[in-house]
Amino acid sequence: MFHLVRTRGIWFLSTLLIACAAGAAPKVSSDANTALLQKAVDGDWRSAEHKARDQFRHPVDTLKFFGIQPNMTVIELAPGGGWYTEILAPFLADHGRLIEAGSPKFEQKIKENPAVFGHIVKVVPFKPPLDVALGAAHSANIVLTFRNTHDWLNDSPATLDAVFKAAFKVLKRGGTFGVVEHRAKPFADAVESSLQFHRIPEDYLIELGLRSGFRLRAVSEINANPKDPEDVNVHHLPPDLDGPDSEHAEMNAIGESDRMTLRFEKP
The residue range of the domain holding 72 is 48-265
Shortest CA distance to 221 belongs to which of 68, 11, 59?
Answer: 11
Is residue 14 in some structural domain? no
CATH number (domain holding residue 199): 3.40.50.150
Is residue 198 in some structural domain? yes
Digits of tens for pLDDT over the chain (267 positions)? 333 333 333 333 333 333 333 334 568 999 999 999 999 999 999 999 999 999 999 999 999 999 999 999 999 999 999 999 999 999 999 999 999 999 888 888 888 888 888 788 999 999 999 999 999 999 999 999 999 999 999 999 999 999 999 999 999 999 999 999 999 999 999 999 999 999 999 999 999 999 999 999 999 999 999 999 999 999 999 999 999 999 999 999 999 999 999 999 999
SS3 60: helix
In whole angstroms, give the CA distance from residue 66 to residue 252.
29
Is residue 158 in some structural domain? yes
Shortest CA distance to 180 belongs to which of 91, 53, 267?
Answer: 53
SS3 45: coil
Q: Tell me the DSSP string of 61-109.
A: HHHHHTT--TTSEEEEE--TTTTTHHHHHHHHTTT-EEEEEE-TTHHHH
Q: What is the pLDDT at residue 25?
A: 53
Is residue 209 in some structural domain? yes
Is residue 261 in some structural domain? yes
Count of the separate structural domains present in the chain = 1
Q: What is the pLDDT at residue 11?
A: 36
Is residue 224 in some structural domain? yes
Is residue 176 in some structural domain? yes
Is residue 3 in some structural domain? no
In whole angstroms, give the CA distance from residue 142 to residue 157.
23
In whole angstroms, give the CA distance from residue 200 to residue 218.
18
In whole angstroms, give the CA distance from residue 63 to residue 138.
21
Which class for 115: exposed (0-12), middle (13-18), buried (19 or more C-beta within 10 A)?
exposed
At residue 204, φ and ψ (nearest 5 deg) are -65, -45
